[in-house]
Amino acid sequence: MNLITKNINIIKHRLIIIGELFSFLWSRKLWWITPIIFILLILMEIILFGQTTGLAAFIYPLF
């Protein structure tokens, strides 16, 4: 049970950081950067997922 609550706290902390980032961008009128950040996050997840699984051979042609 302790491990589950620890993981939930880590996820909650990361979501708070992401929320603060987007509120900062929105208040500074930098809302046009948000699509760029989303695309970079998606690419990062694809790269990390491709390295940890056997799908690297199928993800490689995308780049």
CA pair distance 20, 39, nearest whole angstrom: 18
pLDDT value of position 25: 85
**Residue range(s) defining the domain that contains residue 33:** 2-62
Count the domains in the chain: 1
Supply angle C-alpha 17, 21, 27, rounded to 5.
140
pTM above 0.85, yes or no: no
Are residues 33 and 25 in contact, defined by beta-carbon separation less than 8 angstroms?
A: yes
In order along its 63 residues, the chain shows pLDDT tens digits of 687 888 888 888 888 988 898 888 889 888 888 889 889 988 888 777 777 667 666 766 766
CA pair distance 23, 28, nearest whole angstrom: 9
